[in-house]
Amino acid sequence: MSSDSRRKLLNAVTDLFLLDADPSEESKDHYGDIALRSLPHLDAEGRRDYADSVAATGTLPRAVAVTLANDADAGVARLVLKLSPVLTDTDLAAIAISQTQAHLVAIAERARLSEGLTDILVERGDSAVLRTVSGNEGAQFSDRGFDRLLQRGGDDAAVGEALARRSDLSPQRAERVLRIVEQMSDPNAETGSHHTAAMARQARQQRREVRLLIADLQAGTRSLGEVVDMLAEEDRAFHLAQVIAISADITNEQALRVLMQRDVSGIAVVSRMLGLGKDSFNGILQLRGRRLYFKAKDIEDDLKAYEELDTATAERTMRFLRLKTKLG
């Protein structure tokens, strides 16, 4: 068959496959076989269109996701590398070690990155990769990885500014970044490195601010909904996760994971257990939409589902989560 015929066949089968929200393993195997047989016969545009349409699909067979993510054309691989919930850290690490800088940039844009992945990105990445991962608050840095990032990107004002904007840096790391950007600063300049130093000071101020917000919450002088609304509107995902973690008695990592994973059920359960109203949860959904590129219809559907979620179910789920964490 021609490339166009194979493309039409793959698209038609994909439409059918995506109709089933929970396909059987047999169905996934059959679909994966069709996709893997079709992809080598598609041109770059056809592969790119297909990859973009399935990039965020949680039921996509892993072999298909890995094949798309390894495509030599970074335009084909980009959205899959950035959005796919199917790819494991092992898959991403193998790609980060072997593929192009454009592939690495796409990985660096993922909503969450483990320390192991950032270690590879800061070691192999060019300036575009370093700038991207520096500004990604979902990226975790080991001590070694953070040191290496400062070694390789410390003289790049864009890396300094990206780090200065981060709200998740420990006081020790924040001070190191501030010293670096202030060394590059020209006190007479209105832009460039002088602006970077100002951003570092602003990030430090935001860290102090969130500590005060948490204290107000604990003292009862502010409501949780009020704090959530403010942080969500300002797109401060890491600080929002901190507030959720303390309020729900879970770890910061758990809170950030449920907030930024593509499956909305985790953050919905936590929010319902905390008694957040429709408007506050909509603010969270809007933040997720900006970060994870959800469509307006997806956000609308998630908000409707939240209204139907009962508190008792949410509380049972949270008790299980806390027990699982303690046992682990």
pLDDT higher than threshold 50 for residue 125: yes
Does a structural domain hold residue 181? no
Does a structural domain hold residue 151? no
Of residues 226 and 322, more confidently modeled: 226
* Contacts of the segment 319-323: beta carbons below 8 A, 24+ positions apart: 321/250, 321/254, 322/249, 322/250
Number of CB atoms found within 10 A of residue 297's CB:
8
The confidence score (pLDDT) of residue 328 equals: 42
The confidence score (pLDDT) of residue 122 equals: 97
The tokens describing 21, both together, are: 């929200």
pTM of the model: 0.68
Compute the average pLDDT of residues 154-174: 81
Does a structural domain hold residue 16? yes
- Structural domain tally of the chain? 2
Number of CB atoms found within 10 A of residue 328's CB:
5
How many angstroms separate the first and last alpha carbons of the chain?
53
What pLDDT band is residue 199 in, cutting at 50, 70 and 90? Answer: low
The confidence score (pLDDT) of residue 253 equals: 77
User: Phi, psi (5° rounding) for residue 292?
Assistant: -110, 5
Q: C-alpha angle 114/158/95, rounded to 5°?
A: 35
The confidence score (pLDDT) of residue 130 equals: 96
Of residues 327 and 174, more confidently modeled: 174
Does a structural domain hold residue 158? no
The confidence score (pLDDT) of residue 178 equals: 74
Does a structural domain hold residue 152? no
What pLDDT band is residue 292 in, cutting at 50, 70 and 90? Answer: confident
Compute the average pLDDT of residues 310-320: 83
pLDDT higher than threshold 60 for residue 231: yes
Domain boundary among 51, 66, 87: 87
For 45-75, the pLDDT digits (tens) are 999 999 999 999 999 999 999 999 999 999 9
Separation between Cα atoms, residue 298 and residue 306, nearest integer Å:
12
**Which residues, 6+ apart, have CB-to-CB distance to 106 below 8 Å?**
74, 77, 78, 79, 81, 82
Q: C-alpha angle 168/173/175, rounded to 5°?
A: 110
User: Phi, psi (5° rounding) for residue 14?
Assistant: -65, -45
The confidence score (pLDDT) of residue 165 equals: 76
Name the one residue in this structure whose structure tokens are 């039409």: 8
For 24-40, the pLDDT digits (tens) are 999 999 999 999 999 99
Tell which phi-psi region holds residue 275, choosing left (phi > 0), alpha (psi between -120 and 50) or beta.
left
Does a structural domain hold residue 192? no
Does a structural domain hold residue 119? no
Of residues 250 and 189, more confidently modeled: 250
Of residues 93 and 209, more confidently modeled: 93
What pLDDT band is residue 314 in, cutting at 50, 70 and 90? Answer: confident
Does a structural domain hold residue 183? no
Domain boundary among 87, 103, 120: 87
Domain boundary among 69, 87, 105: 87
What pLDDT band is residue 137 in, cutting at 50, 70 and 90? Answer: confident
**Rg of the Cα trace of the chain?**
22
Which domain range does residue 46 map to?
A: 1-87
Separation between Cα atoms, residue 245 and residue 92, nearest integer Å:
28
Print burial letters for 198-218: b (CB count within 10 Å at least 16), e (below 16): ebbeebbebbeebeebbeebe
The confidence score (pLDDT) of residue 191 equals: 46
Question: Average model confidence (pLDDT) for the chain?
Answer: 88
SS3 content of the chain, % helix, strand, coil (to 5): 75, 0, 25
The confidence score (pLDDT) of residue 177 equals: 82
Which residue, among 114, 107, 15, has the nearest Cα to 69 in the 3D structure? 107
